[in-house]
Amino acid sequence: MKVYRGYKVEVDLNNEQKTACLKHAGCSRFAWNWGLARKQEAYKQTGKMPTAIDLHKELNALKQTDYPWMYEVSKCVPQEALRDLDAAYKHAYRRLKEGKGGRAVGWPRFKSRTKAIGGFRLTGSIHLFEDRIQLPRLGILKLKERGYLPVGAKVAQATVTERAGRWYVSMQIEQERGGIATGDGPAIGIDLGIKALATCSHGSVYESPKALRSSLKRLQRRSRQLSRKTKGSKNRVKAKQRVAKLHARIATIRKDALHQVTTAIVTKATSQRARCLVIEDLNVSGMLKNRKLSRAIADVGFSEFRRQLEYKAASLGLPVKVVSRWYPSSKICSCCGWIDEQQTLSDRTFVCEQCGVVLDRDFNAALNLATSG
């Protein structure tokens, strides 16, 4: 079975390589802004927009006279940026047809260097080694991880991005993986929560790292320091970098915890020959409207948990069933089926008035999810 797996690894750049990456990122940003301005201008005059191919031909004609500095970077950088611009408009029109108007459509906007350096995409001859990667025009770059990338794999394109002073390379590689037949064991229900990240019906409980909560005071202090710096000063740039590094650290801790939990759940389900995994279709956008719990809910990452669980289970041939969000999994007794209509969010223990069973609220919900799946 052929599957596509994404790889993202940090690269260890020297000063010369950082300068080259900054030039490529700047060229990509310039091509995006130039193409967006040309599309808007053409639409006002003719009512139609030029495609990425038309814009690329026009930009190539201007390189020798107006933009000779673009010869210092790879030729595929502006081409891929214009293709991304076409894709952005395509997605915006799709969302408009779906009935999502206003800013929710997500119309393409001009990119500013003051907000983020951004990144760029490279195509062509890309070679992977045990501790290095070779990219067009940038040459051989040293990796900070050894033995992570599949040596000799065929890579069609690679995306280089910057975040909080660190540079990363991400790519998608097609791999052969033997499918695992679906087991005949009991289904595993997974209940997501704030106190515990995931509670499974087989008894495993995975705690949440609470990355934002543990670093909130430090983040508030650095944000206050940033707001007090004079705009345009070097001290403000330094303070902004400190805030960005802390945000990146929080996101990395959260993502690492989600990867560990989802991998552990899928691995255990495979070893137990589980029939399927069952999760609940949570209304995350609606849950975030709760002012008292919105920060804690956002700190968990429910949507990212579901995304990782689905693609990891699919790569092993393990089905993932999604139960309706209106299913009262926390209010139903997993033993006799009695429904507690008076239960509130503060009740962390489920007590059945019919059969007398006493269970943890999240564990009882996980058992009900497993049964419904």
Question: Which residues have CB under 8 Å from 13's CB, separation 6+?
Answer: 21, 141, 142, 167
Structure confidence at residue 109 (pLDDT): 93
Choice among 280, 299, 310, 340 that is catalytic:
280
Question: Rounded distance, CA 195 to CA 205, Å?
Answer: 10
Tokens coding 190: 């997974």
Residue 80 known to be catalytic: no
Q: Which residue is catalytic, options 86, 299, 310, 362?
A: 362
Residues 366/283/310/307 CA torsion (nearest 10 deg): -130
Integer Cα distance of 176 and 198 in angstroms: 30
Q: Does residue 102 surpass a pLDDT of 60? A: no
Q: How far apart are CA 290 and CA 34, in angstroms?
A: 41
Longest dimension (CA), the chain: 84
SS3 content of the chain, % helix, strand, coil (to 5): 45, 20, 35
Catalytic residue among 86, 191, 299, 340, which?
191
Alpha carbon 28 to its chain's center: 22
Is residue 290 pLDDT above 90, yes or no?
no
| CA distances for 344 relative to 109, 364, 367, angstroms | 44, 15, 19
Q: What is the pTM of this model?
A: 0.82
Q: What is the pLDDT of residue 36?
A: 96
**pLDDT above 70 for 42:** yes
Catalytic residue status for 16: no
How does residue 275 score in pLDDT terms, banded at 50, 70 and 90? confident
191 is catalytic: yes
Mean pLDDT of the chain: 89
How far is C-alpha 287 from the geometric centre of its chain's CA atoms? Answer: 20
Which residue, among 169, 167, 161, has the nearest Cα to 126 in the 3D structure?
A: 169
What is the identity of the amino acid at 355?
C
1-36 pLDDT tens trace: 677 788 999 999 999 999 999 999 999 999 999 999
Q: Check the CA dihedral 338-342-344-346 and report its sign.
A: negative
